[in-house]
Amino acid sequence: MKYSQFDLSHKYFVITGASGLLGKEHAIALLDINANLILTDINLLKLKLIKKKLSRLYIKSKILIYKMDVSKEKSISKVVKKLKAEKINLHGLINNAAIDSKILKNNKMTNTDKFENISLASWKKHFDVGLTGAMLCAKHFGKLILSNKKGGVIINVASDLSVIAPNHQIYKKGTFKPVMYSVIKHGIIGLTKYISTYWNNKKIRCNAISPGAVENGQSKNFINKLRKQIPLNRLANKNEYRGALQFLCSDASKYMTGQNVIIDGGRSVW
Ligand SMILES: NC(=O)c1ccc[n+]([C@@H]2O[C@H](COP(=O)([O-])OP(=O)(O)OC[C@H]3O[C@@H](n4cnc5c(N)ncnc54)[C@H](O)[C@@H]3O)[C@@H](O)[C@H]2O)c1
């Protein structure tokens, strides 16, 4: 077979928040180009179901699952220890876990907080997962990638809200995308740039991917308001980030580091 720049055969990748909507899509993206996976999340039950399903479809790839809380350094270290014991040559990390508010069918939003009412506890909780968690995973799994002579990649999952502010008018009156989300996603880009220059000579590339909103059972009212802000006039399908992830994780992007790949139907252009 002709060498494909996209092929990830024999390469292991850790995905955090792998039980969620996009975590599973990232897993499929990498399995489609022959990667081996270490899927992690706080929700072990969902991880088990995902492993069962994917193992049947991708019989040549190895899929390991671990319960791991990205906000707890000990929990991350435990997984690192297990990977070392298994002699796993880690190639990549997808920093995907975050607390992300969801718009429900009835137009209500989970984790909505008026800026004036934000509690420090809520601010810290979101940061612990979305930003500190990403840093801790980069630190620990990055060290493991460094021990791999061929180097590897770290991909940080940001959002279109890493480059634009939320338009509060699209949400139900009185509900708001919490301020933490905006600040965390801008911070993720800072983390990406930092790692890309810090490990520039160690063969670790670090890039971010910034998805726009995925259509996933939100109220019609919300979808209609949001799609008018998007040049392509629709929200994303959950599988539309797979190609970008494959590009960023493989040699197809080997001259690229420190960048933010924005895939938002053009929303941030307007
Ligand atoms: N879905 C979208 O429309 C969208 C758009 C832009 C960006 N994103 C980003 O994509 C990523 C994934 O989003 P999603 O829609 O799949 O979210 P999701 O809520 O479906 O999944 C998030 C996952 O993270 C896990 N998680 C939460 N706290 C954790 C912790 N402490 N340690 C480990 N895992 C933890 C959850 O159990 C869940 O499985 C997030 O970074 C999100 O900000 C999503």
pLDDT digit string, tens, across residues 213-262: 999 999 999 999 999 999 999 999 999 999 999 999 999 999 999 999 99
CA gap 132, 120 in Å, rounded: 15
CA gap 40, 137 in Å, rounded: 11
Name every residue whose Cβ is closer than 8 Å to that of residue 10 and which is 6 or more positions away in sequence: 34, 36
79, 68 Cβ separation under 8 angstroms: yes
- Please give the C-alpha separations between residue 73 and each of 4, 135, 165, in angstroms, as whole numbers: 37, 10, 31
Q: What is the position in ligand 1's atom list of the atom closest to the CA of 19?
A: 39
CA gap 210, 236 in Å, rounded: 12
Retrieve residue 78's tokens: 């435990």
Q: What's the N-to-C CA distance of the chain in angstroms?
A: 44
Name every residue whose Cβ is closer than 8 Å to that of residue 19 and which is 6 or more positions away in sequence: 39, 41, 43, 46, 47, 50
User: How far away, in angstroms, is 23 Cα from ligand 1 center?
Assistant: 7
CA gap 96, 41 in Å, rounded: 10
User: How far away, in angstroms, is 129 Cα from ligand 1 center?
Assistant: 10
Place 102 in a pLDDT band, splitting at 50, 70 and 90. Answer: confident
Q: Which of 41, 260, 267 to mutate to test the pocket of ligand 1 (most atoms within 8 A of CB)?
A: 41
Give the predicted TM-score (pTM) of the model: 0.97
35, 248 Cβ separation under 8 angstroms: no
- The share of the chain scoring above pLDDT 90, in percent, equals 87
pLDDT digit string, tens, across residues 105-147: 777 777 777 899 999 999 999 999 999 999 999 999 999 999 9
103, 222 Cβ separation under 8 angstroms: yes
User: How far away, in angstroms, is 20 Cα from ligand 1 center?
Assistant: 6
Q: What's the pLDDT at 217?
A: 93
